[in-house]
Amino acid sequence: MLLKLAILISGRGSNMKAILNAVKKQNIPIKPTVVISNKPTAKGLKIASKLGVQTEIVESKGFQGTRWEYDQKIIHVLSKYDITSKNSLICLAGFMRILSPEFIKKFKNRILNIHPSILPAFPGLDAQRQAIESGVSHSGCTVHFVDEGVDTGPIIVQEIVKIKNDDTEETLSKRILVKEHKAYVKAVKLIAEKKIKVVGRNVKFLS
Ligand code: GAR
């Protein structure tokens, strides 16, 4: 069964773009179906349209309900495209909202996130700054399944970046981003081609 890909963004959408381009160029067996943003101004929305993918906005600013109530609005949009917990892969690509436990449970092992550090180091906000301030010699990025914690789910792909003496948060973020694009494509491909399975906290590679 061909999985349907939904990508959730909040801004620039460079990871989304890398995934959508790779799916096309590398013939990855997955169907890019919809890009959803919680912000109407997200630059990634235009990029997705240009690449021929449907876009939707589920605005979060000013929303008065609970986290789960907001997430149900996302589920409603997904179902409009016939995306269910059985046929989906949902990629968070700079989606700056925490999902409710209910949503995560419903889409267990179907949601991926990219984080700009080698997890479990430096979870949460400003990961690149955290890395520089801590004095580590290397950082990088991690693609992982989303569980109920913040940046804690089973790890699929990690890429390492060396930190230079004169790195700023900006220069390091830029070099990590190049690796993010590669790592995210690698993870989506592994799942689309059904080459991994989750066993407890670990991702096992099938031969
Ligand atoms: C990326 O660097 C991603 O790792 C980060 O937001 C950026 C989104 O860029 N995500 C997080 O920090 C999540 N904790 P993009 O919109 O160009 O893909």
For the stretch 95-110, pLDDT in tens is 999 999 999 999 999 9
pTM of the entire predicted model: 0.97
**Are the CB atoms for 16 and 90 separated by under 8 Å?**
no
**Are the CB atoms for 46 and 37 separated by under 8 Å?**
no
- Please tell me the distance from the alpha carbon of residue 32 to that of residue 23, in angstroms, as a whole number: 8
CA of 15 to the centre of ligand 1 (A): 8
Q: Does the structure show a pLDDT above 90 at 138? A: yes
Q: How far is CA 121 from the centre of its chain?
A: 18
CA of 207 to the centre of ligand 1 (A): 31
Provide the sign of the torsion angle of the four alpha carbons 8, 13, 18, 20, taken in this order: positive
3-state secondary structure of 140: strand
CA of 173 to the centre of ligand 1 (A): 10
| CA angle 183–188–192, rounded 5-degree value | 150
Q: Does the structure show a pLDDT above 90 at 173? A: yes
Mutate which of 41, 180, 185, 188 for ligand 1 pocket (most atoms within 8 A of beta carbon)? 180
Strand partners, 56: 36
76 is catalytic: no
Nearest by Cα to 183 from 126, 142, 151: 142
- Please tell me the distance from the alpha carbon of residue 115 to that of residue 76, in angstroms, as a whole number: 26
Percentage of the chain modeled with pLDDT above 70: 100
Q: How far is CA 10 from the centre of its chain?
A: 11
Mutate which of 115, 143, 146 for ligand 1 pocket (most atoms within 8 A of beta carbon)? 115
**Cβ–ligand 1 contact at 140 (below 6 Å):** no
Amino acid 158 reads Q
From first CA to last CA, the distance across the chain in angstroms is 19
Percentage of the chain modeled with pLDDT above 90: 99
Q: Which residues of 72-95 are buried (b: 16+ CB within 10 A; e: fewer)?
A: ebbbebbeebebebeebbbbbbbb
Q: Does the structure show a pLDDT above 90 at 199? A: yes
Query: Is the N-terminal amide bond of 101 cis, ω within 30° of 0?
Result: no
Which H or E element spans position 118?
A: none
SS (H, E, C) 50-70: HCCCEEEECCCCCCCCCHHHH
* Cβ partners under 8 Å of residue 86, min gap 6: none
**pLDDT tens, position by position, 23-40:** 999 999 999 999 999 999
